[in-house]
Structure 1
Amino acid sequence: MSTSIIRVLRNLRRVGIKDYFRQLNAIGDTKSGRLVGIDSYGNKFFENTDEDEIFLRTRWVQYKEHYHDVSQIEPGWHGWLGYLVDTPPNALTPNQTSVRSYPAPQVIPTGTGTRNAYVPYSTIKPKISSWSPSIKERV
């Protein structure tokens, strides 16, 4: 919950009653800040640099859909939210944004389904053994 009643009332005045209760339901706190950008999914990203905000809690996202999931955020915006970069993705030039080319994974033959397949074996004595009857002569 918010830290002081003054901060709560100030944020209520800044964001309005509808967004105030939406924030309380979504993130459990009330925040007001400037709109930094909107991604292709329709999520809105905000930042507040006031002194009364908690350290590393100055950036947040307002999801378009009611179901909140981090997988609904683009990678560039995810890095900006996590303070990995200071520049939001919408402020970068096209030559600054790049897509990594990952190397193709090496295929290692495992021999599964052949005689070369790995078969683990136990090196300890089994705790249960089968019963084998022994016949003794009667005297």
Structure 2
Amino acid sequence: MKSLLLQIFTWWNSQTLGTRFHTWRKGQRVGEDEFGNVYYQGGTDSEGRTRRWVIYNGYAEASAIPAGWHGWMHHRVDTPPSDENYKPREWQKPFQPNLTGTPYAYRPKGSIANLGERPKVTGDYDAWSPGS
């Protein structure tokens, strides 16, 4: 019951009722990634291409789509990673959640959140003052 109420009133929990209905009506399961996200296709979009969508395992976090599936979702490739032996390139980084608001967030030198001292201004900067 709780899951159904979350799907009715929130869009960030897995799928909405509209997505569930569209998946039931026209969806053809294409595959699943290592995070448990399930990918579908079916029907056509406004440009006449096959419509593709994902039902997230948990929160709807677009950056959690691996590189191979991202290419398929955005019509960069026609073959989904589940139909081929897809190996990510060495420069493709694995998913990392948004760390903002956590102890692991990026805090550059001089930030109020960083306890270090602000770096000194170099000689190539002249502060603006009125009348100059």
TM-score, reference length from structure 1: 0.50
Matched, 1:39 2:44: no
Instruction: Could you tell me which runs of 5 or more consecutive residues in structure 1 were left unpaired when the two chains were aligned.
Output: 1-20, 103-111, 129-139
Q: Partner residue of 1:16?
A: none
Quote the Cα distance in structure 1 between the aligned partners of 2:56 and 2:22. 15
Secondary structure of the 1:42 match is coil
Matched, 1:69 2:74: no
Query: How far has the Cα of 1:121 moved from its partner?
Result: 1.6
Number of equivalenced pairs: 92
Matches of residues 1-139 of structure 1 in structure 2 within 5 Å?
A: 24-25=16-17, 27=19, 30-31=22-23, 32-48=26-42, 50=43, 53-54=45-46, 55-56=48-49, 58-65=51-58, 67-93=59-85, 97-101=87-91, 117-121=122-126, 126-127=130-131
RMSD: 3.7
User: Quick one: percent identity of the two aligned structures?
Assistant: 27
Secondary structure of the 2:69 match is helix
Larger RCO (CA under 8 A, 6+ residues apart): 2
Q: Deviations over 1:47-104 (max 9, x none)?
A: 11x46x5434610001111x2110121111111101111111121225xx341448xx
* Residue identity in the other structure for 1:83: H
* Residue identity in the other structure for 2:82: N
Q: 1:80 and 1:118, CA in 2 relative to 1: closer, same or farther beyond 3 A? A: farther
Instruction: Could you tell me which runs of 5 or more consecutive residues in structure 2 were left unpaired when the two chains were aligned.
Output: 1-7, 9-13, 93-118
Query: How far has the Cα of 1:126 moved from its partner?
Result: 3.1
Secondary structure of the 2:22 match is coil
